[in-house]
Amino acid sequence: MGKMVVPRSSNVITTDSEFALVNVSVFRKYKQDFSQACRENRFIVREFQFDPSLGQESSKQLQDARDKEKFQYKKFTQLLKVVFSETFQALAHIKFLRLYIESVLRYGLPTDYLYVVIDLDEKSSNKLLPPLIQHFAHLSPSLANKVNDKSGDVNISGEYAGLLDQDIYPFPLFALDCPRND
């Protein structure tokens, strides 16, 4: 459009379906010629005046936004710790209620049971499970051969046998995944 445009100075800043915002640097002497050539081709020319106070104001706004973000993040993490604690307590209570109900359904009343919570890692739980099954085999004779069975499959007959999606032991067993701070 003009012969006195600074080489490689045009940059497309943004575009949409109808318009494009382009930055072009032109020598002052030929600014009017370039503007006239753009208007003839139906482009709108707007001048840009650099104002250093806008840069300082922008950096101040950015710093204020960062400070606000830090404050909000701190507030959010505090709230999250409280909510997580309460939610985890509620989950533990639900697990214990489920354990109690499972015990009553399996062994009946009166409720003279011992509930034990054991904190184990994966290796230790694999080592502890067979001795527990052997020790409590008298509670469910149909599951007593599970220790000797290498596949771990137990054949349970009945109407609801297909609905079971977890391992069956001669005692109620529920896992509660606890978050760890390692």
The pLDDT of residue 155 is above 70 = no
- Among the residue ranges 5-9, 12-16, 54-58, 87-91, the one predicted with the least confidence is 5-9
pLDDT band, residue 143 (cuts 50/70/90):
low
Decide if 106 contacts 143 (C-beta within 8 A): no
- The per-residue pLDDT for range 18-53, each reduced to its tens digit, is 888 888 888 888 888 888 888 888 888 888 777 888
Give the C-alpha separation, 99 to 71, whole Å.
42
- The per-residue pLDDT for range 44-87, each reduced to its tens digit, is 888 877 788 888 898 999 999 999 999 999 999 999 988 998 99
Give the C-alpha separation, 26 to 99, whole Å.
79
Give the C-alpha separation, 35 to 30, whole Å.
9
Decide if 75 contacts 151 (C-beta within 8 A): no
Helix (H) or strand (E) holding 21: strand 20-23
Give the C-alpha separation, 13 to 20, whole Å.
8
DSSP string covering 106-148, please? HH-SS-----------HHHHHHHHHHHHHHTGGG-GGGGGGTT
* Percentage with pLDDT > 90 across the chain: 18
- The per-residue pLDDT for range 122-142, each reduced to its tens digit, is 778 778 888 888 888 887 776
Confidence (pLDDT) at 142: 67
**What is the average pLDDT score of the chain?**
81
Q: What is the pTM of this model?
A: 0.49
